[in-house]
Structure 1
Amino acid sequence: LIRLIRAGCKHKHKHTLIKLSPSVGAAAVNMSTLLVNRPQYSWLRELGLSEDNDGVYNGSWGGQGQVVTSYCPANNEPIARVRPATMAEYEETVQKAQEAWKVWADVPAPKRGEVVRQIGDALRGKIKALGSLVSLEMGKIYVEGVGEVQEYVDVCDYAVGLSRMIGGPILPSESEFRLRPGHALIEQWNPVGLVGVITAFNFPVAVYGWNNAIALICGNVCLWKGAPTTPLTSVAVTRIVAEVLERNHLPGAICSMTCGGADIGTAMAKDERVGLLSFTGSTQVGKQVAMMVQERFGRQLLELGGNNAIIVFEDADLNLVVPSAVFASVGTAGQRCTTTRRLMLHESVHDDVVERIAKAYKQIRIGDPWDPSTLYGPLHTKQAVQQYLAAIEQAKQQGGTLVCGGKIMDRPGNYVEPTIITGLPHDAPIVHTETFVPILYVLKFKTEDEAFAWNNEVKQGLSSSIFTKDMGRVFRWLGPKGSDCGIVNVNIPTSGAEIGGAFGGEKHTGGGRESGSDSWKQYMRRSTCTINYSKDLPLAQGIKFE
């Protein structure tokens, strides 16, 4: 993609917890029409998928809920069917997970790491088929689907090393000052028990992997509810993980799964047996989750919306800016939480950059997501297409000018044109709204203070980036008066993250952190422990009690 965009530059010089999507229906579908039965999709069988698939796993497979059909966003044809969980099956799964935890918690952390390593290897062995399924069911291009599975593999590798490193310090006790001689002070970390993981459609493998691998080495068991529109991916991943647990003679309920909709998600949020609930999704639904978890004083990890900005200053290297802005705004058809939605350009480079990006947009190869030459695939659902059209109409009403795009594409599936809109004020309501579609709002600014303020004025605080050669500006951007986001970049796009750094954001993004750094602490509870190994009982603060 970057090579293609740069070529264009040279030429110039010369997204559920609350409800099921209507695209997932329970209506009867003829078996002969299912993609799983067509020869070109025989690799689905390699993943253990068939016409009808169990959507519950707790050591054994089941599913007695109302059947749902999964559809391919590229053509809206049915792939296969899934039987999700009933509330009775959810209850049974939680009970089995609790029993499995009693076994898993006694496994030494390095051994837990070895099991996670095997999960990573098993995923490696199925990476092409699983990546193809992500592409088929979610709609992202094949290379992104494979890359998403690779993220789960990578975080497994990271977790293996972490399994030998987690732990608390031995702290200086007042015994050092002879106030409490014969005492030791230590910090002990223990698992929270059952970790519930609710993931979104746009990363149906990676987000579970970020949580699952770290939670496991910390000594927790997991209960996963994937998005209602990507149930086949949830089933396929769980089958791979279950085989590893079985080979190690461990309870399958260590990594449980319940496909479902509002009833299952709400039950997880309200369930006091869920020690930590990790939720990835929209800010609107995240608020509902937060209230339900907080009502029971539970622990939560929220990864919600992003309204991310790239700021381009007058001294920026435009050969870096153009491919970065295009990749970050149209990648995954604008359906990443880290997608660039606001492009802020200094007035001296505004017209030049808009012209270059518009040319690059027109060269993007749009097509079937599993075609290796495709760079841009469909939106995930028909509802997303309607949201796209509604956002464009609002932008026009609020003063925006359509530079390119703005239409539904005349082909099967949920395809829309990647769109650029200029001329809107920085505080226009639509600019402050995260629409999970490929629309880029271009804003013109004059000063550094103005640009930094515009970056921070939206309610979300996930990812942000500036392009500049001014080192003073770089450190002002990274400092207390700079970006208020959880991800603060320089001369790279807003999208993408490395597993070694904690991923997440501030404000309405939820405040959660996943993957690297010290995010493992969220999956554990901390105890401060004082041990008296003397024969006396000296009291704190020198108090004498006789």
Structure 2
Amino acid sequence: MPEAAQVASLVRTSLEACGVDIDSLQGEQEARSPLTGTVLTMVASSSFDDIDRMIGEAAEAFTSWRDVPAPVRGGLVKRWGELLTEHKDDLANIITAEAGKITSEALGEVQEMIDICDFAVGQSRQLYGKTMPSERPGHRLMETWHPLGVVGIISAFNFPVAVYSWNTALALICGDTVIWKPSETTVLSALAVDALLGQAVKDVGAPANLHKLAITDRVGGERLVDDPRVALISATGSVRMGREVAPRVAARFGRALLELGGNNAAIVAPSADLDLALTGIVFAAVGTAGQRCTSMRRLIVHESIVTELTDKLVAAYGTLRIGSPLQSENLVGPLINQGSFDAMQATLTAARAQGGTVLCGGDRVLAAEAPGAYYVQPAVVRMPGHTPVVADETFAPLLYVMTYRDLNEALTLQNGVPQGLSSAIFTNDQIEAERFLSASGSDCGIANVNIGTSGAEIGGAFGGEKETGGGRESGSDSWKNYMRQATNTINYSGMLPLAQGVKFL
């Protein structure tokens, strides 16, 4: 287990490499590492006056940035992507130390940022509108897309920088400005990423104040949510948070893009390749210590193969090395804090009370070596059916196993939760796969065949239905979230016929 001083030194070196002056940021807010449970440094918080000023400056910057040609705006994002590539290892070090991800996952998160920058640069030349046939002679009917305004981004600890980049890369090429409220537990990652964007702005000569970083708590975040100068709030977090954010934004007729809870399931059919399924299940359930919104929470297995698969699953869990993600041999890092550990223990107690049997895991480990950190053994729980506890999302490495007899029953179990983010089926039966992907199949925003529930690529739109919030980020046509649409009619006929044959004067 690394010493706290070692982790703090690594973070300081990496922050300085990204252009952050830690000494100038000293304040009252603690930045802790889940690896050791100790304080890395102290950081100053943004006051209400600071946040109000940031919104005003971003709104003012928008008035000039919106008129910059979109391909030129893409040049800024291109430079940002180059700096992210240059500092990939530095950013990964900070993410590992602050969010607890193993090195490969931390590097993967930075790669997501680089990939969305590449995507956005291409998109900057493809902000297409349509031309439609007009019913009136000598008229042209078309749509155009225009920059929206200030975009407020509220992000979560589990992907401390990637989700911000999904929003920011697209918002910038669309002509918007951004204000970011990162998770209070991952402010150092935010400082590093914001510094690199600031350097990109200078390098390409873009207007100042295109991006702002508000280091604040929930109350400070409410200032963004309620301010009418913020055209769009993109919020990633819990369903509880979404229930509070959405009505407040709607009350002022703003836009909300919500990425909320996920209670993701995989169906394993009798025809499935169990070795392939096992690999997909373990990563999806255990990756990031079960703290992904796309983490697999439920495993719905055909009754004919459940014993074979659970035996393989328990054996695979027994090989997982748990410990500091700075040590390359470890695959499972810590939970973010004690609250997450306590929630997992409470859920295990509830699962047992509802007839569940814990097949493996659930215990805290390494407490003597790191008393302030919360490392835990990933747990597999066999459940007698879809009991109430299964419908709740617990942000920890906790996987429920249930059985089914036919695909209709499996789909009922799959869709029988309030959340609708990610889903998967493992099958070599094409009819089953097509049924799963059909309108009467999975009701989730992400539906996969023969891969797990996590590990989305940026080329596809990311998001879910029901209590997941309905938002879409990253690829496909998600750029439209950050723009406003206008319908234009151009009359070149020299006459003024009215639509629908209306006669007037």
TM-score range, shorter chain: over 0.9
Residues 114-173 of structure 1: per-residue CA shift (max 9 Å, x gap):
110110000001000100100000111111111101101000000111111112111111
Q: Separation in 2 of the partners of 1:126 and 1:421?
A: 41
CA contact (8 A) 2:145 2:483 kept: yes
State the match for 1:177 in structure 2. none
Matched, 1:445 2:416: no
Secondary structure at the counterpart of residue 431 of structure 1: helix
- The residue identity in structure 2 corresponding to 1:410 is L
- For 2:393, which of 431, 434, 443 is the aligned residue? 434
Alignment correspondent of 2:436: 477
Task: State the SS of the aligned residue for 1:243.
Answer: helix
Aligned counterparts of 2:461 and 2:17: Cα–Cα separation in 1: 34
For residue 424 of structure 1, what is the aligned residue in structure 2? 384
- Would the alpha carbon gap of residues 44 and 194 (structure 1) be closer, same or farther in structure 2, given more than 3 Å must change? closer
Q: 1:403 to 1:136 in 2, by over 3 A?
A: same
Q: Does 1:47 align with 2:18?
A: yes
- Give the 5 Å matches for 1:138-217: 138-174=99-135, 180-217=136-173
- When structure 1 is superposed on structure 2, of 306-315 and 535-544 the one drifting more is 535-544
Query: 2:289, 2:378 within 8 Å by CA — same for their partners in 1?
Result: yes
Equivalent position of 2:450 in the other structure: 491
Cα distance, 1:506 vs structure 2: 0.3
Cross-structure match for 2:64: 103
Ranges in structure 1 where 5+ consecutive residues have no aligned partner: 1-31, 55-62, 175-179
Q: 1 CA distance for matches of 2:30 and 2:138?
A: 66
Q: Which residue of 2 aligns with 1:509?
A: 468
**Contact 2:11/2:94 (CA < 8 Å) preserved in 1?**
no
Contact 1:36/1:44 (8 A) holds in 2: no
Does the 8 Å CA contact 1:50/1:80 hold for their aligned counterparts?
A: no
Note if 1:89 corresponds to 2:50. Answer: yes
Following superposition, the deviation at residue 35 of structure 1 comes to 6.0
Aligned to 1:25: none
Q: Is contact 1:34-1:78 (8 Å) kept?
A: no
Select between 308-317 and 403-412 the one with higher mean Cα deviation.
Answer: 403-412
Deviation at 1:261, TM superposition (A): 0.6
Q: Deviations over 1:233-271 (max 9, x none)?
A: 111110000011012222331011111012221111111
| 1:57-456 equivalent positions in 2, closer than 5 A | 67-174=28-135, 180-411=136-367, 412=370, 413-426=373-386, 428-456=387-415
Structure 2: distance between partners of 1:87 and 1:139: 30
Q: Which amino acid aligns with 1:529?
A: N
Inter-partner Cα distance in structure 2 for 1:289 and 1:69: 26
Q: Residues of 2 paired with 1:162 and 1:49: CA distance?
A: 30
Mapped to 2, the partners of 1:485 and 1:163 lie a distance apart of 29
Q: Name the Cα RMSD after superposition.
A: 1.6
TM normalised by structure 1 equals: 0.89
**Aligned with 2:376: secondary structure?**
coil
Distance 1:99 1:49 in 2: 25
Q: Return the offset for 1:49.
A: 4.1
The answer to whether the Cα contact below 8 Å between 2:10 and 2:93 also exists between their aligned partners in 1 is no
Q: How far did residue 536 of structure 1 move? A: 1.4
Please state how far the C-alpha of 1:39 moved relative to its aligned partner.
7.0
Q: Secondary structure at the match of 2:184?
A: coil
Cα offset, 1:36, TM superposition: 7.3
Which whole-Å CA distance do the structure 1 matches of 2:149 and 2:363 have between them? 49
Asked whether the 8 Å contact 2:74–2:124 carries over to 1, the reply is yes
Equivalent residue of 1:253, what SS? coil
SS class of match (1:69): strand
Change (3 A) 1:508 1:39: closer
CA contact (8 A) 1:131 1:149 kept: yes
Change (3 A) 1:149 1:539: same
In the alignment, the residues of structure 1 paired with residue 11 and residue 293 of structure 2 have an alpha-carbon distance, to the nearest angstrom, of 32
TM-score by length of 2: 0.96
Distance (Å, rounded) in 2 between the aligned partners of 1:197 and 1:424: 41
Secondary structure of the corresponding residue to residue 389 of structure 2 = coil
